[in-house]
Structure 1
Amino acid sequence: MQLSEYFILIFFLVLGAGVAGGAILVGWLLGPKSKVTKNKLAPYECGMQSVGNARIQFKVGYYLFALLFLIFDIEALFLFPVLVSFKSIVGGETVLSPAIVAVDLIVFLAILVCGLAYAWKKGVLKWE
């Protein structure tokens, strides 16, 4: 491979970096300048005065909430292609055995149910 074959790739990488850098530079030059004050650095949430440190108090809750999002996001990503091709799998039109697909789905859903049970046990699903 010669360098000339990578010219278009290098061109678009430089162009993308230039557009991103230009946008940041224009925003910095034309954007409003403001002084950093104590009030601007204070945490703000829902118009109420903050009490305590949210990073310490709710660390487990936020972590588990993000974990739940990932669990169900990955579930949708995995289940959608399987369910779209379910008719062809059951009909034997693919190299996949229906029994293998069923076992895979059962194991996958069992792992998801364990994750959901863990979150439920930790109280992440409670509305307070």
Structure 2
Amino acid sequence: MDSYFPLLVLFGIGIALSGGFVILSAFTGKKKPTPEKMTPYECGLDPIGAPRQRFSVKFYLIAVLFILFDIETVFLYPWASLFKQFKSAGLGGFIFIEMVVFLGVLALGLVYVWRRGALEWEK
């Protein structure tokens, strides 16, 4: 526990400073809302349309699928970098089959999503 004390102090100081700056800016900042300040900002151009527009559920579905298959990379990279060590320890076949099963489950999920039409933008 003694070896983690400097790290704990560092986090404590960081949290205290961050909180202090937030509180300080809340007390010292200007709070006069003007019509110019209340307009949404769009890259220096005048806003077009209402600020609250409905989005298609397709955007959400594509985002979730992207995150799902992007996280696959998070698991593949450490596996690929440590595979040689596992192979030299005699566990190469087991680790390889384990990753093939993982990729197979992901492939089945992709086929399921594809057949359900989730990847087709226009129906």
TM category (shorter chain) comes to 0.5 to 0.7
d(CA) in 2 for partners of 1:63 and 1:95?
43
Contact 1:88 1:94 in 2 (8 A): yes
Q: In the alignment, which of 112, 118, 122 is matched to residue 122 of structure 1?
A: 118
d(CA) in 1 for partners of 2:4 and 2:75?
35
Find the counterpart in structure 1 of residue 20 from structure 2. 22
Choose 109-118 or 28-37, whichever is displaced more.
28-37
TM-score normalised according to structure 2 size: 0.60
In the alignment, is residue 61 of structure 1 matched against residue 55 of structure 2?
no
Change (3 A) 1:14 1:122: same
Find the counterpart in structure 2 of residue 76 from structure 1. 73
In the alignment, is residue 94 of structure 1 matched against residue 89 of structure 2?
yes
TM-score normalised according to structure 1 size: 0.58
d(CA) in 2 for partners of 1:15 and 1:5?
17
Change (3 A) 1:66 1:94: farther
Aligned residues: 117
What stretches of structure 2 of length at least 5 have no aligned partner?
A: none
Change (3 A) 1:111 1:5: closer
Offset of residue 78 of structure 1 = 0.9
d(CA) in 2 for partners of 1:15 and 1:119?
50
Tell me which amino acid in the other structure corresponds to 1:66.
A
The structure whose RCO (Cα within 8 Å, separation 6+) is larger is: 1
Say which SS state the counterpart of residue 122 (structure 1) adopts.
Answer: coil
Identical-residue share of aligned pairs (%): 27
d(CA) in 1 for partners of 2:51 and 2:8?
51
d(CA) in 1 for partners of 2:108 and 2:39?
40
Q: Any idea what the Cα deviations from partners look like across 1:59-97, whole Å, max 9, x if unmatched?
A: x324323322322332111111221233444xx412424
